Amino acid sequence: MLLTGICLVLVSCNQKDTQSQSTSETTTATAKSITYKDISIDELQSAFGKEDYILIDVRTPEEIANGMIEGAKHIDYVSTDFKDQINLLDKNQNYVVYCRSGGRSTKTSQLMQKLGFKNVANLEGGYLAFTDSQ
């Protein structure tokens, strides 16, 4: 009787470990599929006129007042409808996202990938890197 109880506990623990491992592998695979690419200022500048992409500036209106990359679409990261505005974009277009230095644009790129956008790039260094290159 005692031996039967020990065997049941061992089998039960083994099944939980297998289920846990399977769940962990699925989560890792899912996380790996949610990717975006980082691009440098040089890569962005060499792509001007060669690739069809839309620039998205996710800085605040106060930051925009100091300038922005010509042709960029402004979607304020801290606005209450930010996610809704992002979700209205064509998920099949190519996008390059930037902010002041790269933090908010990284989060935006991750969000866009989770929402099903096909081709999203984050501008490394953001607007500061862009203005330094001019």
Q: What is the pLDDT of residue 33?
A: 52
What tokens were used for 81? Answer: 């409808």
Total domains in the chain come to 2
Whole-model pTM: value is 0.72
CATH number, residue 52: 3.40.250.10
Place of tokens 């809704």: 84
Q: Which domain holds residue 57?
A: 34-133
Q: Which of 99, 111, 112, 121 is catalytic?
A: 99
Q: Do 98 and 49 belong to one domain?
A: yes
Annotated catalytic, 13?
Answer: no
Over the stretch 54-99, which tens digit does the pLDDT of each residue have? 999 999 999 999 999 999 999 999 999 999 999 999 999 999 999 9
Q: Do 53 and 25 belong to one domain?
A: no
Q: Do 29 and 59 belong to one domain?
A: no
What are the helix and strand counts (H, E) for the chain? 6, 5
Please answer whether residues 120 and 56 qualify as being in contact, where contact means their C-beta atoms are separated by less than 8 angstroms.
Answer: no
Please answer whether residues 85 and 79 qualify as being in contact, where contact means their C-beta atoms are separated by less than 8 angstroms.
Answer: yes
